[in-house]
Structure 1
Amino acid sequence: MKNVIFIVFIAINATFIFGQEVTPDFQNKKRLKASPLRNTIIIDGKPNENEWKNAEAATGFITFQPDNGNPAPYEKRTEVKVLYDDDGIYIAAFLYDDPSKIVKEITERDKFGTSDFFGIFINGYNDGQQDFRFFVSTAGTQMDCIATESGEDYSWDGIWYSNINLTDYGWTVEMKIPYAALRFSEQKEQIWGVNFFREIRRDRQKFTWNRIDNKIGNTITQAGILEGIRDIKPPTRLFLIPYSSYYINQNKANGTNTEFKAGMDIKYGINDSFTLDAILVPDFGQTAFDNVVLNLGPFEQQFNENRPFFTEGTDMFNKGSLLYSRRIGGSPSTSPDVGEKEEIQQYPSRINLINAVKISGRTSKGLGIGVMNAVTEKAEATIRNSETGATRTEVVEPLANYNILVLDQRFRKNSSVSVVNTSVIREGAFRDANVSAFLFDLNTKANTYNLSGNVKFSHVNDFDGNRNGYTAYLNFGKTSGNYRFSTNASYISDQYDINDLGIIFMTNYHNVTFNGSYRILNPNKTFNTFKISTIAYTELENVTGKPQEASLEFNLETTDKKNHYFGAGFLVSPFETFDFYQPRRDGRYVYNPKYMFNWIDISTNYNYPFALDANLFVDFYDQDKRRNYGIRLSPRYRFSDQFTLIYAVDWSRQNNEKGWVDFNNDQIIFANRNRNTIENTVTGKFSINSKMTINLKARYYWSYAENLTFLTLTDDGYFLPNATYNENQNSNFKIWNFDLSYSWWFAPGSQLSILYRNNAIHSERRLNKNIIDNLEHTLSNNLNNTLSISFRYYIDYNNAKKWFKT
C-alpha cells in the first residue's frame, strides 16, 4: 500500500507542477478566412463556380514526411479554399502534380490503398483535444475518422459529400461537410482549429498546411486557425439507422434454418458537446471472424473487437485499459455443476446482448464524460442424465448489467487527469465486480517531457466472499527530439482482478522498465527513417521475490530511399526465471531457462504492383536442445487499380517445449513436446467502383502438439522423468474460415451487404501429420454454411425534415 500512497503523492504534486495553465500561443499559427456562400454550388469535383474564385486560399504547404519542415515543391503545390452556409462548410482543393504519375487504386470506404489523397482536420472547439478528419482519394473513395492523440478511429462514419476530378495539372477535390457531422460551440463567431493534409503516395510524401513538427509528439495542437464563420447554429444531431438482416444457415447436424432480424441504431446529439449512441435489438452476424488458435497456455486467447458499436468513438472508454468489450456478450462466466452420471448436452457459446447505450462528449472547460451501459440476457445449459435420459437446465449466466463511467479533465491541450469506474452486476447469487482508477498524463508546454501514472482498485463479490486488489504505475520520459527515453515501474497485488469487464493475465508482481531510443527526424543520404531502441525489463513475484522475467532487448527499424522497410532485433534473458501460472496451482511454479530471441522483418514498398512482407524468428533456450523458429511470407500483387490479392503463409516449430498437460493425484504433469503450426490465408479485393466492393478472406489454421515424454513438476520448479503416466494428451487442432462478401454504399452512411460464410473447427487427440488429410477431415466434420443479406439505411433528421416539407 505504501507504493500506492507514494504514487498518489507524486501525481498531486506533478499535476501542480506540470499543469500550470498557460494561455495558448496562436502567434505562429496560419489563419484562413472562410467566405459565406451566396449561391448554390454543385459538389462535382470541379470547383469552377464564381464563389470559389473570390474565396481566400490556403497555400504554402509544409512537408510533414519525410523532409519535415521543408516547403512543398512548387510543382506539387496545393491550394485550398473554404466556403460556408447555414447547412455546412464547403472545401475546394487544387492539387498540382504530373497527371501521368498520380496513383489511384480503388478501395472500399476507410481504406487508403495505393492512392494519393487529400484531407481536412477540423476541431470545432479549437481545444487540441479531438479532430474530425475527412479524406478523399484520387479514386474518389471517402475515409473519415475521429482522431485524438491516442490514435484514429475509422469505425466512425460521418455523412458528408465529395467528388474528385483529374485535370491536366493534377487533380481537384470538392467536399461538403454538413454541420451535423461536426461538433462546435454556439458562439456567434466561430474559431476552429483546422489543418489540411495531402499525401503523394508514389513518393510517400506528406504535406500539411500548418506545420506539424515531428520533434513534438502532440499533433492536434499544431493545427492552424479557420475563422470567418459567423451566425451559424449547431443543428439537431439525430440519426436513425434502421436495419434488417436475413440469414440462411445450414450444416449436417441441424439441417437448414432461417432467421430474420430487424432493429435500429440511434445517434442523438444531446447538445453541441455530448452524443448518445444506442443499439436496439443488435445484430453482429456479419462481423469478421476471430482468428482462433490452439491455446495450450494457462491464459485465455484475447480477440479483437469487431462489433461497430464497441469500436466507434470508444477512445474515452479505453482510458485505463479497464474495458475488454468482448466480455459483453461473450461466453458464460460459470459452468454447471454436473453429477457423476450427468453430462452437459448443450452449453451456450455466447450470451445474447439485449441492448447497449453510451453517452460521451467534452465540455467547453475540457471535462470529458463517458457513460456506457449494456444488458445481456440470461443463458442456461442443458444437462442430461446418462442413466435415465432425463434432462435439466441450469443458469450459467444470469441477466447482467455492464457499466463504465469515465471523467477526463483535459488542460493545456496536452495533459489530463482521469477517473474511471467499471462495474458488472449479475442477477441473483452470481459474481459481481467493481473497479476504480485514477489516472494522470502530464506533458510540459513544449511536449518535451511526460509524467504519467495510475492507481487502480478492484473489488469482487464472489461465492467465497469478497476480494480486494490494487495496482499502481508511474512513468517518466522524454518524448521529443532525436534521443528519447522513458522509465517506469508498477506494482500489482495478488487479488487485483478486472476480468469481469476488462482483461488481465498476470498479477502479484512488481516490475521496472527502461526504454531508450535514437531516431533521425529528417532523411539522410541512406535512409528516409531510422530508429534504434533498447528496452531493459525486470519483473519479480511479490511473495517469493523470484524473477518472472529479466530481459534486455535491442531493435533496429529503417526505411530506405525507395521506401522499403527493414527491421531486426534480439532479446536476451540471461537468467533463469520462474512461471507461477503454467502449473495452474497456487504456490507452484516452473523454471524458465535462459534464452535468446532473434527476429528480422522485411516489407517492400506497397506502391509497386508486387510487394512482399517477410518475417523470420529463432529462439534459443538453454534447455535440452529446446528451439523455436518460424517464418512468415506474404506476397501481394495489385493486378489493377481494382483488383488486389494477398497470400500469407505462417509456419512455426517448437522443439522440446515444456508444457502442462494434466493433474495426476497430487502430481502436476508436464510434457516434453514438439509443436508444429501452419496458417494459410488469402485476402482479395475487387472494387467495382468507389462504392461497390467484393472482398474475400479465407483462412486455414492447423496446429498439432506431439508429446514425446512426460515429466513431473517438483516443488522447486524443475522436472523429474515420469515413466508411469501414459494418457494420450496429444493435440491436433484445425479451423477453416471462408468469407466472400459484396458491399454497396448506395447512399451516404447506408449500406447493402451480402455475405457467404462457411467455417469448420475440429479438435482431436489423434495425430495426423498430413496437411491435406487434416483439411479434408475438418471440412467433412460438420461444415457450417451461412448466407446473409443486411440492409442499413442512415436517416439524418435534418434531411428527413426536408422530405416531409417536399
Structure 2
Amino acid sequence: MYKCLLVLMVSFLTINTFSQTSSSKSEPYLKKNLAAKKIEHSITIDGKLDEAEWQNAEIAKDFVMLQPDNGVPLDESKKAEVKVLYDNEAIYIGAFLKDDPSLIMKEITQRDDDGSADFFGLSVNGYNDGQQEFRFFVTAAGVQLDANANSQTGEDFSWDAIWSSEVEITNDGWYVEIKLPYSALRFSEQTQQTWGIQFFRQIRRDRQLYSWNRFDNTKGSLEQQSGELTGIENIKTPTRLFFFPYASTYINNNKELGTKIDVKGGLDIKYGINDAFTLDAILVPDFGQTAFDNQILNLGPFEQQFNENRPFFTEGTDLFNKGNLFYSRRIGGRPSYYPETEDNEEILNYPSTVNLLNALKVSGRTKNGLGVGVLNAVTEKTDVTIRKTILNDDNTIRFEDRKEVVEPLSNYNILTLDQRFNKNSSVSFVNTNVTRNGSFRDANVSAVVWDLNTSKNTWNLGGDFKYSHVNRLNSDNKNGVNTSLYIGETAGKIRFSVRGEYISKKFDNNDLGITFQTNYHGIYSNLNYRLLKPNDVLNSFNVNVNANSQFQNTSGRLQAGNINANFNATTKKNDSFGGGLFIRPFKVHDFYMPRTADRYFLNPEYIESWFWISSNYNRKFAIDFNPAIGATSVEKWNNFGFNLSPRYRFSNKLLLTTGYEYFKENNSRGFFTKVDDAIIIENRDINTSTLYAKLKYAINNKMTINLNSRYYWSYVQHKEFGELQQDGTVSDTSFLAYGSQDFSAWNIDCSYSWWIAPGSQLNVLYRNNSSNFSDGLTRLDRDFRGNFNNLFGDKLNHTFSISLRYFLDYNRVKNWI
C-alpha cells in the first residue's frame, strides 16, 4: 500500500510537470531598470543627501504594495524615491520617503529587530540569477537589519555584514543614506555589471509593505521578481579578510565555590576565498555570554531539544541544515558515554558540556548555482573522576579515585553540495561524520535531498533519502535508512499536499543530528485555503486541514493517527486571531513511553481545541492570549492551560513585556519505573507555571539595555501505580502513592550592549541563576512563596562579565601599516 502510494505520487507529479511545461511557458516578469551613477568624490553618510552627486542620479519610484493588498500603487502623498551611486569602494543608496513626520513610527530596538518602526530596505543579487540575495534594512530610528535570503530557506537574519547607514527626519518625511562596501556583497568579475535589485518600504502604522519592482504573489518567489541595476563598470572585488579579536573577563560567585575570575582572549577570522566562497574560523571559542537554556521538567522518553545560541552555529548555516541532519548542540554538548559503576562507586564531576577547541566553516555558491558548505569542529578529550568507597577491616572508610574518559578527542564534520537550477529547484548531497579517538563509536550519515518546482511555481516535488552507519567497536555496527516523498500544489487560493515517509528501526543520526522516533512509516496530507487579497472584513485569512497517520514497521500497529484543522486571520485594524481543533479518533500504540523494546502503552482517544488572539503591536498596550483545553476518552484524564502576555511600550526607547504560562494535566498516565521485568505506570497530576519578563531600554540606536528573567516551576503529584500489561493496558491499582516530583528554575540576564563602531561591540552582562529538583515519597508543599524562597537560597549563582569584540578590515589595516 505504501509503495503503491509513492509510485502514484511520482506518476502524478510527472504528468502534471509535463502538462505545465508543454502547455505554455511562464510569462516573463516585468523588470524595472535603474542605472547607477559613478562618482569621483567621497560621500558623507549622514542621512542628508546634500552632496551634488545625488542631484543628477536616476530615480527609482512608483512603488507597489507587496502586502496585504498585493499590487496596489503607493499613494502619491507617501511617495518613495531611491537613487544609487557607486565608486571604487562601495555602492551608495539614498532614499526619500515622503510622509507626515508626526505619524512615522520609530521605536528603537536592537540590531536585526524592526520592532514597531517604519523601515526602508533593499535586496542585492550580484549575479542577477534569482537565487541568493543580500538584504539590508534601516528603520526610521536608524536601527540596522541585514539577512541573506533565498526562496527555499527564506530570510536568515543571523547573518551580519559590515555597512554604514544614517537617517534624517524632516518636515516632509524621512531620508535614508546607506553605504554598502563591496566586501559585504558578492558579484562576478565582469567589466560591466548587471545586478538584481529590489527596494522596500514599510509603513508600520498601516502594516503595509511596498516594493519598487512589483511582486505578484501568485507567481514565483520574491527573489525572482527583482528589478535590475545597471551602469556599474570596472569595479574590483576587494580582499575580504576580516579579523575579530576579542577579550573578556568573567567573575563567577556562589556560596559553595566562592569567587572565581577568568580572563579570556581570542580571535575570529572571516576570509573571502574568492568572490563566491567565505571561510569563517573561531580559533579560541568564547560562548560565555550566550543566552540561557530554558530547562523544563522532562517526564517523556526523549531528550529536551534546545535552541542554538552560539553565533558561529547560527550565522549563515542554511546550507548545513539541508535534510535536517544537523543539530549543532551536539558539538560541545553532553559527553557521549556514561561510565558503568559498581554499587560502592560514584561519579564526582560528570560534565554537562565538552569544551570546543576550534571550528571553521567554508560556504558559498558559484555563478552556476552550486552551493558548497564544509563545517568542521574539534572538541577536547574529557574525563571524570570515579570515587570508590572501601570499608577497611577496622571499620574505617577510605576512598580510591580513578579517571575514566567520557568523551575522547572528537572531530565533527559536515559536507553539503547543493545544486540549484531553473531559479527555483535544487538537488543536494549532505554528509555528516563524527570520528572519535580510541574505542568509541563513530558515525556517518549521507543524504540526497531534492526540492523540484515547475517553471510557474505551481507544483512542488520534494523528498530525501538518508542512510546512516554507526561503527560500534564493541558490538555490531548499525545501518539504517530514512526516506520521504512529498508532492504539493503551491499556487492559488486552494492548495493541497501529500507526503509519505519510511524510517527503519536502525536509522540513527543522533551523533550530529537528532531523531526521536524510528521503525515506522507514515502518510500525511494537507488542504489549505488562503486569501490572496484583503476583503471588506479581513486583511488576511488562512485555514489548514491535516490528516496524519503512522504505523510501526514491525507489527503494523497504528502509533499515530489524527485529524486537525486550524485557522488564522488578521482584521482591518491589524489585530490577529486564530484557533484550531485536534482529534485523535482511535487508540494508538506508544512504543516509547515504556522504555522497553517491543512493549507499548495504549493511548486513548483524544480531542483538543485552542484559540489565540494577538492585538496590534503598533499600540502602546498590546496583549497575547492563548487558552487551550483537551480531554481523553478515559474519565477525568484531561488538561487545560493558557498563555497570557501583555506588553506596554512606554516610549520609543522603553518596552516591557511580561507573561504567565500555566498548564494542568489531570489523571494522566506515564512511565514511573521498572521493577525486574515489570513496567510500572503511574497515574499523576502535573502542574506547570512559568513567569517571565523582558525589559528593553534603548539609550540610542547603538546602545541598549536588556533585562530578561524567567521563573519556572513544575510539580508532579503521584496518585496511583499499576503494571503495564502486554496488551498496552494498565492493571488495577497496585497501591496508592503520595510522592511527588518538583523542578524549579530561575534565571535573570541584564545586559548592556554598545556598537562602538561597525562590526565592533562592547557587552556587559550580569546574570544569576538557580535550579532545584526533588523526587521523593513525601507530599509536596505547593506553597508558591516557599518554593520561590527555597530557589533563592544557597544555590544562587552570580556571573558578571565584560566582553569587547573589535572589527578589523585587512584593507584598512594594510593602509595603516
Instruction: State the TM-score, normalizing by the size of structure 2.
Output: 0.96
Shift of 1:221: 1.0
Partner of 2:409: 399
Contact 1:131-1:148 within 8 A present in 2 as well: yes
CA distance in 1, matches of 2:650, 2:806: 33
User: Against the structure 1 CA distance between its residues 524 and 578, is the aligned structure 2 distance closer, same or farther, given a 3 Å change threshold?
Assistant: same
Q: How does 1:377-776 map to 2 (within 5 A)?
A: 377-387=380-390, 388-462=398-472, 463-723=474-734, 730-765=740-775, 767-776=780-789
Shift of 1:3: 5.4
Contact 2:627-2:641 within 8 A present in 1 as well: yes
2:111 to 109, 112, 115: 109
Q: Which amino acid in structure 2 is aligned with residue 436 of structure 1?
A: S
CA distance in 1, matches of 2:258, 2:618: 47
Report Cα offsets for 1:651-675 as digits up to 9, x if no partner: 0100001000100111001110000
Partner of 1:341: 344
Report Cα offsets for 1:610-660 as digits up to 9, x if no partner: 000010000111113111100110000000000000001000100001000
CA distance in 2, matches of 1:506, 1:28: 48
CA distance in 2, matches of 1:193, 1:295: 49
Q: How does 1:159-198 map to 2 (within 5 A)?
A: 159-198=162-201
User: Against the structure 1 CA distance between its residues 25 and 240, is the aligned structure 2 distance closer, same or farther, given a 3 Å change threshold?
Assistant: farther
Partner of 2:82: 80
CA distance in 1, matches of 2:133, 2:328: 24
Shift of 1:543: 1.1
Partner of 1:802: 815
Shift of 1:768: 2.1
Secondary structure, counterpart of 2:291 in structure 1: coil
Shift of 1:681: 0.3
CA distance in 1, matches of 2:156, 2:408: 33
Secondary structure, counterpart of 1:683 in structure 2: strand
Q: Which amino acid in structure 2 is aligned with residue 69 of structure 1?
A: G
Higher deviation after alignment, 764-773 or 339-348: 764-773
CA distance in 2, matches of 1:239, 1:4: 55
Is 1:792 matched with 2:794?
no
Higher deviation after alignment, 449-458 or 776-785: 776-785
Shift of 1:568: 0.8
Secondary structure, counterpart of 2:233 in structure 1: coil
CA distance in 2, matches of 1:769, 1:223: 59
CA distance in 2, matches of 1:749, 1:31: 32
Shift of 1:480: 1.4
Contact 1:732-1:768 within 8 A present in 2 as well: no
Shift of 1:215: 2.0
Shift of 1:50: 1.5
User: Against the structure 1 CA distance between its residues 420 and 4, is the aligned structure 2 distance closer, same or farther, given a 3 Å change threshold?
Assistant: farther
CA distance in 1, matches of 2:27, 2:247: 51
Partner of 1:318: 321
Partner of 2:295: 292
Contact 1:373-1:402 within 8 A present in 2 as well: yes
User: Once the two structures are aligned, what percentage of the paired residues are identical?
Assistant: 53
Partner of 2:395: none
CA distance in 2, matches of 1:29, 1:172: 25
Shift of 1:778: 1.1
Is 1:199 matched with 2:210?
no
Secondary structure, counterpart of 1:688 in structure 2: strand
User: Against the structure 1 CA distance between its residues 613 and 74, is the aligned structure 2 distance closer, same or farther, given a 3 Å change threshold?
Assistant: same
CA distance in 1, matches of 2:802, 2:118: 33
Q: Which amino acid in structure 1 is aligned with residue 314 of structure 2?
A: T
User: Against the structure 1 CA distance between its residues 8 and 374, is the aligned structure 2 distance closer, same or farther, given a 3 Å change threshold?
Assistant: farther
Partner of 2:252: 249
CA distance in 2, matches of 1:565, 1:13: 36
Partner of 1:122: 124
Contact 1:146-1:154 within 8 A present in 2 as well: yes
Higher deviation after alignment, 769-778 or 112-121: 769-778
Shift of 1:247: 0.2
Report Cα offsets for 1:391-410 as digits up to 9, x if no partner: 11100011100010000000
Shift of 1:23: 11
Q: How does 1:91-102 map to 2 (within 5 A)?
A: 91-102=93-104
Q: Which amino acid in structure 2 is aligned with residue 58 of structure 1?
A: A
Q: Which amino acid in structure 1 is aligned with residue 812 of structure 2?
A: N
Shift of 1:10: 4.9
Report Cα offsets for 1:283-327 as digits up to 9, x if no partner: 000001111100000000000001000000000100000000000
Shift of 1:733: 0.2
User: Against the structure 1 CA distance between its residues 16 and 564, is the aligned structure 2 distance closer, same or farther, given a 3 Å change threshold?
Assistant: closer
Instruction: Flag structure 2 segments of 5+ consecutive residues without an equivalent.
Output: 391-397
CA distance in 2, matches of 1:487, 1:75: 47
Report Cα offsets for 1:560-605 as digits up to 9, x if no partner: 0000000011011111101000000000000010010101010000
Higher deviation after alignment, 121-130 or 422-431: 121-130
Shift of 1:339: 1.4
CA distance in 2, matches of 1:320, 1:696: 36
Secondary structure, counterpart of 1:164 in structure 2: strand
Contact 1:740-1:755 within 8 A present in 2 as well: yes
User: Against the structure 1 CA distance between its residues 5 and 128, is the aligned structure 2 distance closer, same or farther, given a 3 Å change threshold?
Assistant: same
Is 1:265 matched with 2:278?
no
Q: Which amino acid in structure 2 is aligned with residue 230 of structure 1?
A: E
Q: Which amino acid in structure 2 is aligned with residue 685 of structure 1?
A: K
Partner of 2:394: none
Secondary structure, counterpart of 1:525 in structure 2: coil
User: Against the structure 1 CA distance between its residues 40 and 153, is the aligned structure 2 distance closer, same or farther, given a 3 Å change threshold?
Assistant: same
Shift of 1:372: 0.5
Contact 1:476-1:486 within 8 A present in 2 as well: yes
Shift of 1:386: 2.2
Secondary structure, counterpart of 1:389 in structure 2: strand
CA distance in 2, matches of 1:628, 1:407: 46
Is 1:32 matched with 2:34?
yes
Shift of 1:772: 1.4
Shift of 1:432: 0.6
Report Cα offsets for 1:307-366 as digits up to 9, x if no partner: 000000000100000000000000001101211210111111100000001001111111
Instruction: State the TM-score, normalizing by the size of structure 1.
Output: 0.97
Shift of 1:130: 1.3
Secondary structure, counterpart of 1:234 in structure 2: coil
Shift of 1:803: 2.4
Contact 1:7-1:473 within 8 A present in 2 as well: no
CA distance in 1, matches of 2:562, 2:659: 31
Partner of 2:65: 63
CA distance in 1, matches of 2:270, 2:2: 45
Contact 1:3-1:491 within 8 A present in 2 as well: no
User: Against the structure 1 CA distance between its residues 2 and 616, is the aligned structure 2 distance closer, same or farther, given a 3 Å change threshold?
Assistant: closer
CA distance in 1, matches of 2:107, 2:554: 58
Shift of 1:74: 1.0
- The structure 1 segments of at least 4 consecutive aligned residues displaced by more than 4 Å after TM superposition are 1-27
Q: Which amino acid in structure 2 is aligned with residue 689 of structure 1?
A: N
Q: Which amino acid in structure 2 is aligned with residue 268 of structure 1?
A: Y
CA distance in 1, matches of 2:523, 2:408: 41
CA distance in 2, matches of 1:203, 1:60: 19
Secondary structure, counterpart of 1:309 in structure 2: helix
Shift of 1:20: 8.5
2:147 to 128, 145, 167: 145
Q: Which amino acid in structure 1 is aligned with residue 642 of structure 2?
A: I
1:208 to 198, 207, 211: 211
Shift of 1:723: 2.3
Shift of 1:801: 2.2
Contact 2:17-2:454 within 8 A present in 1 as well: no
